[in-house]
Chain A
Amino acid sequence: MKLREVTIKNFRCLVDTTVPIDDSTVLIGENNSGKTAFLDALRIALPRSIPGRGGTPFDEYDYHMCKAGDSPQTCEGIIIELWFREDMPEEWPASLVQALNDFIQTDPVTDLDSIGLRLSSKYDQAAGEIVSKWDFLALDGQPLGGRGARIGNLGTFLPYIRLFYLSAVRDADNEFAPRSQFWGRILRELKISEAQRKTLSEELERLNAELLKADPRLEQVVASLGEVQTVMELGLGQNTSIQALPIKPWDLMSKSQVVMKASGAEIDFPLSRYGDGMQSLAVIFLFQAYFKVFLKPVFHPETEAILALEEPEAHLHPQATRALAANLDRIQGQKIISSHSPYFIQEIPFKKIRMFRRDGPISKVVYIKQRFTAMVPQAEELVRFCTDNSTKFSYHSGTSTLSANGRMEDREYRQLLKIYPGQSGVHARLKQLRDESQLYLSNDDLNQLDTFAKRIRGEILFARAWLLCEGQCEYLLLRYFAELLGKPLDRAGVAVIDFQNNGSPTAFVGLARAFGIPWIMICDNDREGKKFIEQVKDCGLTGNECDELVRPLPGSEMELEKFLVNNGFANDCREILEEQGVLLTTKEGEAGFEGEIASRISRGKMGYIISLIEKLRAMGTDGTRVPQFLGTAINDIVAKAVS
């Protein structure tokens, strides 16, 4: 049973957020953007034991309040809604369906089972207090009636889905303590047969006695302590003794600890004496051990675990972080992980990433969608339309949902509009569906991007804005010019992405739009550049957007080299060419001079551009020399990043 969707409303900064959940899902976003709130919401909605009646699992700051006078009494209530869903029919074992029958919902058409659980918490006028309750839901989101409404259902359900939460601070001393969530449980679950226990106890007592005998002074101490009894009259038959070691097997067990031999060392070191990174990893693998050995025997054979893991990269060096991410699939159970590490992200497919962004008091979550939906009434022609275009469109009558898993073309859009003549409400929803569907990224696009992300270490997802350019020369120049303008791009959180070597510009534009990352693209104004522009336009940008964001170098057939020569760098370039022993056929002032420089440079573009930047740097060049066109682009993207 997998968690497949989470909706959170009015919980801290999460005002209205729906997040699909994969087998592994990675949450990224700046500090305070709601990642921890999200994990906390899950933890509250899936408590480890059945909450008592009355009371609320939330504290007053959990209620989203935006106005000064707001209080938990006046604000809209918190809703945390979880949907567990089959990915294919009959995925859930019969024994699970039998056990949870009273609140499993079956989709009559797809035959997929699901369970919807909603925790809501709201001030109840009549009762005069905050009322928090868990409801199981029908497919339409309404609370179930009949058997599905029984309060005991939560208690039946919870043992089947266990959420384990590992916060960023993973101190081995705590996590391996006798009362901790995994280790403690493991120790408690260990079964020692009565006969063995007896033998062990006897053996321990014998050892104890021997230890005491080892030094006669101990006996004297015992005797002297025994005199306490005569004073206190503790009662008959009580003996004073010293336990040199725990006599009960459980006491002994609770003192167990994990020790490791460092490579090449002779001595076992307790885990707590290792570094933080080692400890952190050990805790994660402790979860794994617990999951493998104890989860099912303790709960049910069908029980599944969700691991909510905060910052697995904590205290780990980059290679270890990458290795952990790459091995994520080997950790059993469903994983929901928050991370700040580009090293971690670079191993995670974009599809699994949920980006949290803060917008004033509200956070939103963005992610790559490959399926777009709109609620439209059933109509015969619609069903026919979906049959005719079944690779892209489908309609679900139970929930009145039209889905598109691809970009809706204009032709298709017009066809759909015609099905609902004069119904402006439906038209508006179809338009929204069309617009949203333009964000569609195909699996090919995504594969390309994933390969790219592995190369550039996933950092672009942590940037606030993107400046797209064709190649590495532009990359170097733009960063240098920004420095000259006193606006270093790193500091502003702008990533410069040279798309040509890393896939197509459309992939990045699509990604930027899917994640809502502001971007500007600069390209040559030649044939190839125009081709890029056309491609980007196909991503569903409006004409205005395109004019504002896609910026070809000004001038017809303009390329970077020509642009530089035309914008005040002709002499610098000439000097570099001369230094490198390149003889020019034209002289300054003669016709074709600029053209010759540009074409010479283009033969060893990268090297010349690096030399140019070095030269300018050595000269102590200032911002006045930055070409206006590029200066504007830099200023614009920095402004977008900061806002």
Chain B
Amino acid sequence: MSTKEFTAAWKELSPIQRKAADWDEGPLLVLAGPGSGKTRVLTCRIAHILDSSQDENFRVLALTFTNKAADEMRNRVTNYVPGQEGRIFLGTFHSFCADVLRQHGTHLNVNPNFNIYGQDEDLQAILNDAVDEAKNKSNLVRDIHKETLPVIQRLKSRLILPEACRDKFQDPELGEVMAIVYPAYEEQLAKRNALDFSSLILKAYQLFARFPAFAKRYQTVYPYICVDEFQDTNQAQYSLLRALTRNESKNLFIVADDDQIIYQWNGASHKRIDEFLTDYSAMVVQIPTNYRCPPEIVEMANNLIRHNFLRRPDKQPLQAARAKSVGKTVRLLQRLSDLDAEVSEVARDIKGLHSRHLGSVAILGRSRRILERAEKALCSEGVPAVISQRKDEFESGPLVWLHSILRLTNDKQNLHYLEAICGSFAQLTQVEIDSEDIVIQARASNLGYLHQWVKYMRQKPLGMLAREGVDRVAQFLSGGTDFRAFSKSTLDWFGRLIEAQRQEEDDQTTEVFARYEEERSVWGELMLDITESLGDELTLEAFLQELQIHSKESPPQPDTVILMTIHGAKGKEFEHVYLIGLVEDELPSFQSRQRGDASLEMEEERRNCFVAITRTIETLTLSYAERYRGWLKEPSRFLSEMGVLGEKGGKE
């Protein structure tokens, strides 16, 4: 029996959307333009499959590009077909691979308890150790090879294993070196029971490719697979998909738009969609209707993307579903002398037009650098603004402490986490201790660092509040490590620390809790999302792994202008979009111009512009200046391609 929410959503689908959502058997590619309601199609399809098979046990696998998208889709599906949550895996490629490795990684000597190292500095430290060790073994390896992290990452993203990397280089000497450094790096990771992001994909791929029995298992369990934003999958992810489906699948459902490929630099390719169609003999359904943007913008987008050649020849142009609006939808701000003047003008414009609904405004830029300038300009105009970006780690003392306690519970002898605990505990309670003391004692007692920390702290004279913190950890360790209860109790403790500190009005502690409130709500959100994604009975290791995969960025604040790179804006939409820096060497980027007007890179830049403008729901404001970093820049070619400027740069 369908819920009324689902019945309503199903009714709202257009005939072509419904055709896709209702697709029965056979691999399908849904070519869906921006704003065409592809998320709705996907969620309806998943809900439809689950709804019509309530008594069955099979599951649906849906892979998304971001965790946020996964969380949103899961909420919708759960709303449509309540009680079937256990039958979907909705997550990113990385989350899925982590889940696979938790279950079957032992067959590749991956301990299910693995740590995920996501930050470049952690990986760099590992590479440093690896190179130092490798130097002892071979005099080919030198300190300069500590800079080969990108090389290793690229090898991994091409699924090249350490033992096979030697002859993959044009420079044979580099091949020799990497044949030593890459395995050493992997060894160091293994020693720390850690995986980096690219090994998540690589190892899962290896598992399915080497042991088809597991691919078969997953095919049995997940007879339906959906992939969102397929255009941005890289070689590794696609190979994983191939291995997982053992090159055939009756029910592979792919949603993609070849005009929105913006991760070419990460291995995405316009060829992948063709590859998919050939590999799986898939059918195609196109959804060109755009429900999001005003017709003017749809026309601009069509004008623009027509200049790309590396796209499907039969691709239908976008069709605007909305009626032409009354007001001015698209504006090009007056060209000012330089970037600072440009962003100041943008800031003033926003203040003038949107100060009552700042939360509906987004500034998009090709690079982070120009966004920073814009943020400054907004700041000096007194407009609250924040740059949206992935945040890998918590920053406030309390959350660092809580997170590190959990990590050290799971990874009992990790010095890094112990140091973080000692450091943040000192911030919270002014009790300073040397982590080295604990390490030495732990070596003698054979206890884990955290147990030893508790033991050590208990022998010290402590204030009441500090003692309480220690006691809570002790209770957590002895009570079956229920991390959710511990998290709750620790947040209570933080509350009392804040209370105590307010009475003392100590400036230092105020600073400790500076970003606490914000991060605490992120912590709560993440715990909720991860629990919903992996189920109630989440284990600590799975929680920590997912936490590592998720960004710790705060959700957008109300009445704050958000600044985003175009890549960050993928899949999102905003009432009012400002696209800044529309000059040659910015958008399109300097590198793409170097490659030439007909290069792959130039086409990618055009798609960047295409993605940026099609985020708009109501108004689009474009801006450009004469000089950037002192250099005179031509207006972006895309302005004229979109039909905003005349061929010679004159305003139309």
Contacts and interface: CB of A to CB of B under 8 A. Distances in A.
B99 A147 contact: yes
B211 interface: yes
A24 interface: no
Contact of A95 (B56, B537, B542): B56
List 6 A-B pairs, minimum CB-CB distance, nearest first.
A146-B102, A145-B112, A108-B211, A150-B537, A98-B57, A99-B57
B443 interface: no
A98 B221 contact: yes
B221 A144 contact: no
A111 B59 contact: no
A95 B53 CA distance: 12
A95 B57 CA distance: 6
A107 B213 contact: yes
Contacts of B456: none
14 contacts: A98-B221, A99-B57, A106-B104, A106-B217, A108-B211, A144-B112, A145-B113, A146-B541, A146-B542, A148-B102, A149-B539, A150-B535, A150-B539, A151-B537
Contact of B478 (A104, A126, A152): A126
B217 A104 contact: yes
Interface string B89-102: 00000000001001
A146 B57 contact: no
Q: Which of under 10, 10 to 19, 20 to 34, or 35 or more describes the interface residues of B? A: 20 to 34
B103 A144 contact: yes
B4 interface: no
Given A98-B221, A106-B217, A146-B99, A398 B57 contact: no
B58 interface: yes
B220 interface: yes
Contacts of A150: 535, 537, 539
Given A98-B58, A108-B214, A145-B102, A127 B107 contact: no
Residue in B107, B536, B542 whose Cβ sees the most chain A Cβ within 10 Å: B107
B557 interface: no
Contacts of B477: 126
A147 to B, nearest CB: 6
B537 A152 contact: yes
A147 B103 CA distance: 7
Nearest to B537: A150
Contacts of B221: 97-98, 101
Contacts of B210: 108
A54 B99 CA distance: 29
Contacts of A149: 537, 539
A215 interface: no
Interface string B254-291: 00000000000000000000000000000000000000
A148 B479 CA distance: 21
A108 B539 contact: no
B56 A98 contact: yes
A106 B214 contact: yes
B480 interface: yes
A166 interface: no
A138 B480 CA distance: 21
Contacts of B103: 102, 144, 146-148
Contact of B535 (A89, A96, A113, A147): A147
Contacts of B56: 95, 98
Interface of A: 89, 94-99, 101-102, 104, 106-109, 111, 113, 126-127, 138-140, 142, 144-152, 398
Nearest to B211: A108
A140 B480 contact: no
B216 interface: yes
B132 to A, nearest CB: 30
Given A94-B58, A108-B107, A147 B217 contact: no
B184 interface: no
Nearest to B58: A98
Contacts of A98: 56-59, 220-221
Given A145-B112, A150-B535, A140 B106 contact: yes
B533 to A, nearest CB: 11
Interface string B70-85: 0000000000000000
B480 A127 contact: yes
B524 to A, nearest CB: 22
B374 to A, nearest CB: 43
Given A108-B107, A127-B478, A97 B220 contact: yes
B163 to A, nearest CB: 16
B213 A111 contact: yes
A108 B106 contact: no
Nearest to A105: B104
B534 interface: yes
A337 B217 CA distance: 34
Contacts of A142: 106
Nearest to A397: B107
Contacts of B478: 126-127
B213 A94 contact: no
Contacts of B106: 138-140, 142
A99 B53 CA distance: 13
A89 B212 CA distance: 13
Given A94-B58, A126-B477, A149-B539, 7 more contacts: A108-B211, A108-B213, A142-B106, A145-B113, A145-B541, A146-B539, A147-B99
Contacts of A97: 217, 220-221
A101 B217 contact: yes
B290 to A, nearest CB: 38
A74 B104 CA distance: 35
Contacts of A147: 99, 102-103, 534-535, 542
Nearest to B104: A106
B220 A94 contact: yes
B79 to A, nearest CB: 23
A145 B539 CA distance: 7
Contacts of A94: 58, 220
Contacts of A95: 56-58
Nearest to B451: A126
Nearest to A301: B55
A396 B239 CA distance: 28
Interface in B161-213: 210-211, 213
A106 to B, nearest CB: 5
B545 to A, nearest CB: 9
A130 to B, nearest CB: 14
Nearest to B113: A145
Contacts of A126: 477-478
Given A101-B221, A127-B480, A145-B541, A111 B216 contact: yes
A441 B217 CA distance: 37
A450 B107 CA distance: 42
B249 to A, nearest CB: 15
B338 to A, nearest CB: 54
Interface in B446-494: 477-480
Contacts of A145: 102, 112-113, 539, 541-542
Contacts of B216: 111
Contacts of A144: 103, 112
A145 B480 CA distance: 15
A146 B220 contact: no
Contacts of B220: 94, 97-98
Contacts of A127: 478-480
B68 to A, nearest CB: 23
B97 to A, nearest CB: 12
A143 to B, nearest CB: 10
Nearest to A143: B112
Contacts of B217: 97, 101, 104, 106, 113
A398 B542 contact: no
